Structure 1
Amino acid sequence: MKHLNKLFAAALLFAGLTSQAQDSNNPWAVSFGVNGVDTKVSAVGNDSPKFIQLINVEDNWNILPSVSYLNVSRYVGDGFSFGLTGSVNKIDKWISRVPGTESTDNVFDPGNLSYYGIDAVIKYSFMDLLKSKWLDPSINLGGGYNFIGDASAGTVNGGLGLTFWITEQVGLQFQSTYKHSFDDTRVPNADIPTHIQHFAGLTFKFGGKDTDGDGIYDKDDACPEVAGLPEFKGCPDTDSDGIQDSEDACPEQAGPKEFNGCPDRDGDGIIDNEDNCPDDKGTKIMKGCPDADGDGVADKDDNCPTIAGPKENAGCPWPDTDSDGVADKDDKCPTVAGTVANFGCPEISDDTMKKLNDYGKTILFDTGKASFHKSTMPVLEAMVAILKEYPSAKFHISGHTDSVGSDALNLRLSKERALAVEKFLESKGIADDRLSSDGYGETKPIASNKTKAGRSQNRRVEVTLMK
């Protein structure tokens, strides 16, 4: 029987290591303290386990006044842990049963026997079920091998424990374990009696890895190498705007969630890093800059910020020197008021054209030549003055003769006289691209060539406005 007990205890011994309320964050624990061995439980007739017999402690308990047990344990999950406990003691209080009765004899000293225990334990903690951070009740089952004096035997163990966690990793531990022996007698140095062993000490959890030192263990830390915050599973929020850096478009500048963590100092709805004017409230079309005159040119680029003007002129209106409603850049007559339809130049009225042609009819040439008669110079000067009033208008000068002479002579003479008028006007400052001329001889009479008066009318110069 004893050999079977030893084999059973040895199998339990190698089953694993136990934890003292450690968890997946700190899977390892070490506990140490004092232990007390009480042999009275197996001396009573019914052999029932009484875990804590506080009455007559001094008579029942064997206590070594020093650190007398050490536990090393490992958490395996779901509240379960496995571990190994080694303990030492001195047995100087031995309680035996009165033969044939259910009463016990007085305590006697069996000879100050040495006690050694090696126990393997499977332990379950109720701490998670209670959702407590400090109160940790537990139960345990296991087995061990015990030495009392010259005797040794295996035991099957079961017990209760209670740990008060002072901090996350330091606790005050109390535990009582019922060790059931299969020895048939209760003789010192010959048998191992069923007994209760009480433990009281400190327990320390460790083994949790926190690489970045942020208080969040690596296994639960979404950013294990960068210190962060619990609300972000260990990830940082550098600018403290409530948005973790990995989801923050501007991790070093605080900003609201609607802008993905980017700031908008001027409150115009455009984040600063996309705002060309981050300190001045503006519009999206102006990329965050104001446009006081609404001309599409941001105030910072607008030379006339309160007066609307085109972008091509830096936000200022184009000048209109003659105030005719046509900007100088588009005004072909910038110093003379005109009409929009005529590109800023004045429209030539029918009366003006009539006056030009009246002058043209009075131009006198030397007989048979294209040279001007001295008396006609004022007429030509008057025509120059009219043409200068309409600097963008273009004119065609036509030369005509009477029927005296040959057709060829008259055609040549009409061309020469029309050209002479054109060159005179150009010599007085009329641009050559505004004038053209041609002669038509006697082909376009306006009166009869049979009379002197008629021939006089046919010898003429006409001015036509070119459209």
Structure 2
Amino acid sequence: MKNLNKIFAAALLLLGLSSQAQDADNPWAISFGVNAVDTRTSAGDKNVFAHFDQPFHIKENWNILPSVSYLNVSKYVGSGFTFGVSGSVNKIDKLVYRSELNPKDFVVKNPGDLSYYAADAVIKYSFMQLIGSKWFDPSLHIGGGYTWFGDYDAGTVNGGLGLTFWLSETVGLSLQSTYKHSFNDNDDRAVGVPSHLQHFAGLTFKFGGKDTDGDGIYDKYDACPEQAGPKELNGCPDTDGDGILDKDDACVTEKGLAEFQGCPDRDADGVADKDDACPDEAGLKTFGGCPDTDGDGIQDKEDKCPTVKGPKDNKGCPWPDTDGDGVLDKDDKCPDVKGTVANNGCPEISEEQINRLNAYAKTILFNSGKSTFKQETYAVLQSITAILKEYPSSRFSIEGHTDSDGKDAMNQKLSEDRAAAVKNYLIENGIDSARLSSAGFGESKPIDTNKTAAGKANNRRVEVKLVK
């Protein structure tokens, strides 16, 4: 047992030298299990093949220690070859001899439970890649070693066959038979180390391949060795399952499209949701993905009339034309009264109305020598006011005139005062002052003779003129 412990220690030392892999991925492997020693081969005749004519007489010829009795450590060296070292231990209680009475017969004797130790070096060639299998692994091996057999020891030359059934990528059931030719093989079974067959059955574990993220893909093949991912994506994750690797995906947790670096576009408007101000409404890129239903260049959320085209100045709504005169309210000086385009939407006063105004104006009566109105004149002034209100954009000049009685300066002032009095009355009754002006002409513009009372009455007048 002392020697076996040394063998095991050496094997474990070898095991710790590397953490690479047994076939190109896991070049290291460790095998352990039970072994059986069969000395029948040394009891055969000179015919080489006769040495192996009873290989499976297990009960009769095999020496088996019912416990873990061998350990093998090996390393893949390339092209199907591995190199390994093995240590094994056994008890020999069945030693096969040729019968002295009949040389063709064999007898099995107990030599006294001899101890058996062996340390071997093995070069193995696997046919698995050659036959294209992933689980059936036949092999050949050769090597040499040293065997301690009871009180004797000797070197051996070894060769044999093996078969491993890989239950997974790294775990296999291994079977092996090795012929060990001893350099100290004597016909006397009580002396020396006989040549023998040694059979092995156990488990093999391959290891050494580095898989940092534990996704089943070795780091050397893994495009993302520190993030677990599927094999079809070379070991890189795709959290949202959209076929775009997380490392290239701008929206890792949301399924998206390649054209948007893995981000979604729910409304299919060509703007990724992360950049879309209206992700659930198809819109235009110019508006950050928001719609402009009426196509007026104003996005719906800012458009007061989203279904009707309108200018930006009116918040997307069309300008109204309240009075229907063809002039928009924004340009219409009289938005509530139908007018003409030429007069900015306001009605144009007719010549007939001007004549009416002047007919009324001629009937305005003032107290003698004063600019105050006689009582009966107020009805006339109201009629004039009503006409002016119908034409809110028209401007008028109120002109005062006198007869020739009295001094010129007095008549000039009186005409001015009387024109101003009419103007002030109109302003006080709702006419915009900007529309009115007044002037006095005294006796300078008579329309009749000043030699008769009737002529003078005609010259004392107020006129209303349209200012164009």
Could you state the TM-score of these two structures normalised by the residue count of structure 2? 0.70
Change (3 A) 1:378 1:169: same
1:86 aligns with 87
Q: Distance in 1 between matches of 2:347 and 2:144?
A: 120
Measure how far apart 1:31 and its partner are. 1.6
1:69 aligns with 70
Instruction: Show CA shifts across 1:381-403 (max 9, x none).
Output: 33312221122444444556678
Indicate if the aligned counterparts of 2:394 and 2:466 stay in contact, CA closer than 8 A.
Answer: no
Identity of aligned residues (%): 57
The residue identity in structure 1 corresponding to 2:204 is T
Indicate if the aligned counterparts of 1:239 and 1:252 stay in contact, CA closer than 8 A.
Answer: yes
Q: Which moved more, 1:380-389 or 1:300-309?
A: 300-309
1:275-286 alignment, distance < 5 Å: none
The residue identity in structure 2 corresponding to 1:35 is N
Instruction: Show CA shifts across 1:407-458 (max 9, x none).
Output: 7556544543432222111011112233344456678x58799988699569
RMSD (Å), alpha carbons: 5.1
Q: Which moved more, 1:287-296 or 1:111-120?
A: 287-296
Instruction: Show CA shifts across 1:38-87 (max 9, x none).
Output: 66778999998x8x946454399654253431223455677555443211
Q: Distance in 1 between matches of 2:129 and 2:157?
A: 27
Q: Distance in 1 between matches of 2:190 and 2:326?
A: 128
Change (3 A) 1:375 1:23: same
Q: Which moved more, 1:295-304 or 1:166-175?
A: 295-304
Indicate if the aligned counterparts of 2:11 and 2:73 stay in contact, CA closer than 8 A.
Answer: no
Instruction: Show CA shifts across 1:6-60 (max 9, x none).
Output: xxx9xx98995599x9446555533223334466778999998x8x946454399
Residue 114 (str. 1) matches residue 146 (str. 2): no
Q: Distance in 2 between matches of 1:193 and 1:306?
A: 105
2:429 aligns with 428
1:64-463 alignment, distance < 5 Å: 64-66=64-66, 67-74=68-75, 81-90=82-91, 92-93=94-95, 111=111, 113-128=114-129, 130-140=131-141, 142-155=143-156, 160-177=161-178, 179=180, 197-206=198-207, 214-217=215-218, 220-223=221-224, 227-274=228-275, 294=295, 320-326=321-327, 328=329, 331-340=332-341, 342-349=343-350, 352-353=353-354, 356=357, 365=366, 369-372=370-373, 376-399=377-400, 412-439=413-440, 445=445, 460-463=462-465
1:465 aligns with 467
Change (3 A) 1:380 1:37: same
Measure how far apart 1:253 and its partner are. 3.2
Indicate if the aligned counterparts of 1:27 and 1:207 stay in contact, CA closer than 8 A.
Answer: yes
Indicate if the aligned counterparts of 1:115 and 1:148 stay in contact, CA closer than 8 A.
Answer: yes
Indicate if the aligned counterparts of 2:61 and 2:96 stay in contact, CA closer than 8 A.
Answer: no
Q: Distance in 2 between matches of 1:121 and 1:402?
A: 150
Change (3 A) 1:190 1:261: same
1:35 aligns with 35
The residue identity in structure 1 corresponding to 2:467 is L
Measure how far apart 1:116 and its partner are. 1.4
Q: Distance in 2 between matches of 1:225 and 1:394?
A: 88
2:3 aligns with none
Q: Distance in 1 between matches of 2:354 and 2:75?
A: 116
Give the length in aligned residue pairs. 447
Q: Distance in 1 between matches of 2:449 and 2:197?
A: 159
The residue identity in structure 2 corresponding to 1:380 is L
Indicate if the aligned counterparts of 1:403 and 1:455 stay in contact, CA closer than 8 A.
Answer: no
Indicate if the aligned counterparts of 1:16 and 1:121 stay in contact, CA closer than 8 A.
Answer: no
The residue identity in structure 2 corresponding to 1:58 is H
Instruction: Show CA shifts across 1:181-239 (max 9, x none).
Output: 66697876875566654433222334556565544455555555655432233443333
SS of 1:426's equivalent? helix
The residue identity in structure 2 corresponding to 1:247 is D
SS of 2:57's equivalent? helix
Change (3 A) 1:139 1:410: farther
Change (3 A) 1:331 1:15: same
Measure how far apart 1:118 and its partner are. 1.7
Instruction: Show CA shifts across 1:140-192 (max 9, x none).
Output: 55543322233334456555533111222321213344556666978768755
SS of 1:239's equivalent? coil
Indicate if the aligned counterparts of 1:250 and 1:261 stay in contact, CA closer than 8 A.
Answer: yes
The residue identity in structure 2 corresponding to 1:119 is D
Change (3 A) 1:351 1:87: farther
Q: Which runs of 5+ in 1 are unaligned?
A: 1-8, 97-102
The residue identity in structure 2 corresponding to 1:232 is L
Q: Distance in 2 between matches of 1:439 and 1:182?
A: 156
Indicate if the aligned counterparts of 1:310 and 1:316 stay in contact, CA closer than 8 A.
Answer: yes
Indicate if the aligned counterparts of 1:176 and 1:196 stay in contact, CA closer than 8 A.
Answer: yes
2:57 aligns with 58
Measure how far apart 1:285 and its partner are. 5.9
Q: Distance in 2 between matches of 1:408 and 1:344?
A: 43
Q: Distance in 1 between matches of 2:399 and 2:179?
A: 139
Indicate if the aligned counterparts of 1:127 and 1:137 stay in contact, CA closer than 8 A.
Answer: yes
Could you state the TM-score of these two structures normalised by the residue count of structure 1? 0.70
